[in-house]
Every structure is written in structure tokens, then in C-alpha cells.
Amino acid sequence: MNYLTSKLNKTFLFLTMLLGCCLNSQAGNRDSLALTPPMGFMTWNKYGEDINEQLIRQIADKMAADGYADAGYQYIFIDDAWQGGRDKRNNIIPDPVKFPSGMKALADYVHSRGLKLGIYSDAAPLTCAGYTASYNFEEQDAKTFAEWGMDYLKYDYCHAPSDSAVAHERYKRMGDALEKSGRKIALGVCEWGQLNPELWARQAGGSLWRISYDVRDMWKDIVKQGGMGILDIIDITEPLYSFAGPGHWNDMDMLVVGLEGKGGPSSDLGGIGCTYTEYQTQMSMWCMFASPLAMSHDILNENAATRRILLNKEIIAINQDALGKAARLVQRIGECRVYHRQLTNNRQAIAIMNPSDKAQRISLPLSFLGKSAKYDFRDVWEHKNTSVKKAWEGKLEAHETKVFVVTEK
């Protein structure tokens, strides 16, 4: 009996290890779909339900012609409200008025511009906006998305049970369906972080997972109606740095840079707009934390200040660094916070953020960087180099973030 019990225990242990290896292998296969954080344009914050194929084509033309594709913004993410129900064979179809040419023709057009196309659905019968979703049609819809030529699926969680095990199961069903679809389609898990997706979303097939409720066009939430400002999402993301890495990312939601309080859904729940100092801080910290970068402003009518932030290749290079290490909080000096991120080629990135409402002057000792007697500081926003010895000293305006790439001298 002892021998049998021992044998069963060893068998159970072996099967558990085998299952774990299979899950890790599946996650590893999916990781290759997003070795660096995906970058692109998402329709929701600016346009909401007011989308159509002409708009998507115009955005593709703009991104290809005006430097966004060259800067690394590969995707156009079509969010909710594209659906037109199901046909007599239960195939999901696009709204024939908004997308009269069909999704395959649209994907072909976007691909011809050197870009990729993403689509949206939900792990329930209906989406957040009340349109047809994919629950119980996972394999059929995944096959349809593949036939259309989609490269990404944002998979929401409205109208679904608020249970972590159920969420894991529903996302895994779609992750498995995408795996079998015959096309490489990255899965964005949009569960809003309430059920700890950082613990299971990668195993479910996700390349990234939302870690907060929807971002609003504001510095921080002061109306307390459920909206999330830039600072609120930074606070939530701080402790999750260890879950990010090549192929699996903490998604901090869309960039609100340039919306100026004129967006659609982003203007709800206190979204009155931000200063460009605050927008620059969002870009800085999204890049430091290795979040996906999804623009959401009026890209067809943008200003120079917005382009300066979104097209800064030095800050983008931090976001896209192949090492895939997310920044972590290493110091607090007065009101200011200091974040550190390891980069390739023995380089380091630091961000010094002033979340307070008043300017701050600080002296930052550099002992956390190592034992070098001197460092070269590259200011990625000012595009200037400075030699620094024992401490960095400077002034930060209210809500400002300074970012440096640091190398030993």
C-alpha cells in the first residue's frame, strides 16, 4: 500500500510538472507574437462608436506617411462597434454600413501600408457597447478573424462573471482558438486588472493584459466616479514590474496624449484634459514600465506638441528595449519618485517624477546605479548629454518627469 501510494504520488507529481511544462511551452509560443510592447493607434478614446472603413484607411495613410510607422507604431486597433451581428451560418460579420467593403479588404489595405490590423471582441454574448461578441463562438470567430487577416484581438470582459477562474477559462478558450486559427494573432486581455490577470493571462494565451480600469483624459481621479487618471494608473502599475517581459506585458491602457479634453469616452468621469507636461509624463512612464503604446488622439488633426511627444524615438527606444525589463520604484526624495530600468548593452534608464502640484528641487545620490565614479546622462526629452558624478541635481515642475539613459564613463 505504501508502495502504491508512493507510486501514485510520483505519478501525480510528474503529471503536474508535465502540465506546467505544457502551459509554459504554450505561453512561450505565444510570447513570440509580441517580443516588445505593441505600438499603434486605438480608435476608442477619440472616436468611440463613430468608426468606419474610410476612417481606418485615412489613419493608415497618416501613420505610413507621417513617421508613425517608422517610429514603431505598427498597429491600428479597431475597438468596439464594428460588428453587424451574425449571418445565417453564425459567422460574425462587420456592420455593412460602416464597413461596406468588408474586413478582409480593409486588412489588405492596412497591410499594404506596412501596418498591422487589430480587431475587438468580448468574452461574453455582448460587448461593452452592446454589440455581438464571441462567447461560445471562440473557434468560429478566431477562424473568421484569421481569414480576414487580423493580427491582434483586444478581448474585453464586459457582461462576464467576476470570478478569476472563469475569466482564466474564458480567455484560454479564445487563446487556444487563436492558436488553432492558422494565423498569428496576438491576444490582448482586457479584464481591467480586477481579477489579477498578471497571475494567469499569459498562460491563457495573452500577450498583454490590462491592469486598470479605462484611462481618462486627466492627471488623476478627483471626482471618484470610477475613472482612472495618469497618476492613478502609474500607482497601480508600480508593484507589477516583475510580471512584464518579452512577449508578456502589463497594459496601462491607451495614451491620452493630445486629446485635450476633446475625446469621446476619454472625456467621461472627469476627463477634462491634461497639460502637455502631464502628457509627457504619461509617455515617459508608459515607456519606463514597458507598457503597450496605443495612441488615441485626433491623429488626422494633430498639433506639433503632440507629435513631439509621440514621435520621440529616444523615449520609444526605452519602451522597445529588447531586454524587456520594466522599471521599478527605487527611491523617494521628498515628493519626487525615482524609477530605474535596466537596458541592453549595460545601459540604465531612470525616470524622476514629480507627482506633486508644486515644483520641486532635488539632489539624487547615484549609488543605486553602481560604483562608477562618473556617469553620462542622456536627457531623452532635451536630447542632451551631461556628465554626473555623485548626485544629479535639478528642478522638476509640477507633474513633470525627467528621463535619462545612463551609461558609465
CA distance linking residue 22 with residue 33, whole number of Å: 18
- Give the tens place of pLDDT for each residue, 387-403: 999 999 999 999 999 99
CATH number at residue 375: 2.60.40.1180
- Helix 276-288 vs helix 230-237: crossing angle, to nearest 10: 20
At residue 150, φ and ψ (nearest 5 deg) are -70, 150
The whole-number average pLDDT for the span 114-132 is 98
Looking at the domain assignment, is residue 2 inside a domain? no
Mean pLDDT of the chain: 93
CA distance linking residue 30 with residue 272, whole number of Å: 38
Judgement on whether residues 221 and 108 belong to the same structural domain of the protein: yes
Judgement on whether residues 225 and 344 belong to the same structural domain of the protein: no
Instruction: Report the percentage of the chain scoring pLDDT > 70.
Output: 93
| Residue 263, burial from CB neighbour count under 10 angstroms (0-12, 13-18, 19+) | buried
Long-range contacts of 162-171 (CB under 8 A, 24+ apart): 162/194, 162/195, 163/195, 164/195, 164/196, 164/200, 167/123, 167/191, 167/195, 167/197, 167/200, 168/200, 168/201, 168/203, 168/204, 170/123, 170/135, 171/123, 171/200, 171/201, 171/204, 171/205, 171/206
Q: Domain ends where: 270, 285, 320?
A: 320
- The pLDDT assigned to 29 comes to 72
Looking at the domain assignment, is residue 249 inside a domain? yes
Residue 81 near residue 49, CB atoms below 8 Å: yes
- The pLDDT assigned to 30 comes to 83
Q: Answer whether residue 238 shows pLDDT above 80.
A: yes
Judgement on whether residues 387 and 315 belong to the same structural domain of the protein: no
Residue 218 near residue 271, CB atoms below 8 Å: yes
Which residue carries 481606418 as its cell? 56
Tell me what percent of the chain is helix, strand and coil, each rounded to the nearest 5.
35, 25, 40
CA distance linking residue 135 with residue 122, whole number of Å: 7
- Give the tens place of pLDDT for each residue, 318-362: 999 999 999 999 999 999 999 999 999 999 999 999 999 999 999
At residue 286, φ and ψ (nearest 5 deg) are -60, -40
Q: Which residues pair with 392 in a beta bridge?
A: 364
Q: Please tell me the total count of domains within the chain.
A: 2
Judgement on whether residues 338 and 274 belong to the same structural domain of the protein: no
Judgement on whether residues 283 and 382 belong to the same structural domain of the protein: no
Looking at the domain assignment, is residue 49 inside a domain? yes
Judgement on whether residues 279 and 389 belong to the same structural domain of the protein: no
Looking at the domain assignment, is residue 258 inside a domain? yes
Judgement on whether residues 313 and 352 belong to the same structural domain of the protein: no
Is 214 labeled as catalytic in the residue annotation? yes
Given 79, 122, 156, 217, the catalytic residue? 156
Instruction: Single out the residue of 364, 362, 390 nearest to residue 375, CA to CA.
Output: 390
Judgement on whether residues 147 and 94 belong to the same structural domain of the protein: yes
Looking at the domain assignment, is residue 393 inside a domain? yes
Judgement on whether residues 126 and 72 belong to the same structural domain of the protein: yes
Residue 165 near residue 195, CB atoms below 8 Å: no
Judgement on whether residues 248 and 313 belong to the same structural domain of the protein: yes
Is 156 labeled as catalytic in the residue annotation? yes
- The pLDDT assigned to 5 comes to 41
Judgement on whether residues 202 and 344 belong to the same structural domain of the protein: no
What H or E segment, with its residue span, contains residue 227?
none
Given 79, 122, 141, 214, the catalytic residue? 214
Local structure of residue 132 (DSSP, 8 states): B
As given in the structure block, the three cell numbers for residue 320 are 522597445
- The pLDDT assigned to 4 comes to 40
pTM for the complete prediction? 0.93
CA distance linking residue 198 with residue 155, whole number of Å: 15
CATH number at residue 75: 3.20.20.70
- Give the tens place of pLDDT for each residue, 157-172: 999 999 999 999 999 9
Judgement on whether residues 285 and 167 belong to the same structural domain of the protein: yes
Q: Which domain holds residue 342?
A: 328-408
As given in the structure block, the three cell numbers for residue 257 are 496624449
Looking at the domain assignment, is residue 24 inside a domain? no
